[in-house]
Amino acid sequence: MAIDLVTRREWGARSPRGAYGRLTSTRGVKVHYTGGQVSPDIVNDHDKCVALVRSIQNHHMDGNGWMDVGYSMLVCPHRKVFEGRGPNRVPAANGSGLNSAHYAVLGLVGSSGLTQPNDDLLHGILDAVEYLRDKGGAGREIKGHRDGYSTSCPGEALYAWVRRGAPRPGGGGGPADPPPAFPGRTLAYPPLMSGEDVRTWQRRMRERGWNIDVDGLYGPGSREVCRTFQREKGLPVTGAVDRATWNAAWEAPVT
Ligand SMILES: [Zn+2]
Ligand SMILES: [Zn+2]
**In-domain check, residue 185:** no
- Give the single-character DSSP code of 24: S
Whether residues 155 and 204 share a domain: the answer is no
* pLDDT tens by residue, 129-159: 999 999 999 999 999 999 999 999 999 999 9
Ligand closest to 110 (CA) is 1
* pLDDT tens by residue, 17-37: 999 999 999 999 999 999 999
Ligand closest to 102 (CA) is 1
CATH number at residue 89: 3.40.80.10
**In-domain check, residue 214:** yes
Whether residues 242 and 122 share a domain: the answer is no
Q: Are 77 and 118 in contact (CB under 8 A)?
A: yes
pLDDT category at 235 given cuts 50, 70, 90 is very high
Report cis status (omega within 30 of 0) of the bond before 191: yes
Q: What average pLDDT does the chain have? A: 93
**In-domain check, residue 176:** no
CA dist., res. 95 & res. 39, Å (int): 26
Q: Which amino acid is at 123?
A: H
Give residue 160 CA to ligand 1 midpoint distance, Å: 15
Give residue 121 CA to ligand 2 midpoint distance, Å: 9
**In-domain check, residue 174:** no
Give residue 106 CA to ligand 1 midpoint distance, Å: 8
Whether residue 176 has pLDDT greater than 70 = no
pLDDT category at 173 given cuts 50, 70, 90 is very low
Last residue in a domain, options 163, 185, 210: 163
Q: What angle do CA 201, 207, 212 make, to 5 degrees?
A: 65
Whether residues 107 and 45 share a domain: the answer is yes
As beta bridge partners, residue 187 has: 241
* pLDDT tens by residue, 70-125: 999 999 999 999 999 999 999 999 998 899 999 999 999 999 999 999 999 999 99
Q: How many domains does the chain have?
A: 2
Q: What angle do CA 240, 242, 246 make, to 5 degrees?
A: 105
**In-domain check, residue 97:** yes
Whether residues 138 and 221 share a domain: the answer is no
Whether residues 152 and 199 share a domain: the answer is no
Report the 10 Å Cβ neighbour count for 139: 17
- Give the single-character DSSP code of 39: -
Nearest to 29 by CA among 189, 137, 117: 137
Ligand closest to 11 (CA) is 2
Nearest to 71 by CA among 18, 108, 38, 121: 108
Whether residues 119 and 52 share a domain: the answer is yes
pTM for the model? 0.74
**In-domain check, residue 254:** no
Whether residues 51 and 112 share a domain: the answer is yes
Whether residues 16 and 123 share a domain: the answer is yes
Give residue 32 CA to ligand 1 midpoint distance, Å: 4
Q: What is the pLDDT of residue 255?
A: 66
Ligand closest to 49 (CA) is 2
Range of the domain at 44: 5-163
Whether residues 43 and 152 share a domain: the answer is yes
CA dist., res. 23 & res. 207, Å (int): 23
Whether residues 105 and 199 share a domain: the answer is no
Phi, psi of 143 (to 5 degrees): -125, 170
Nearest to 3 by CA among 116, 56, 82: 82
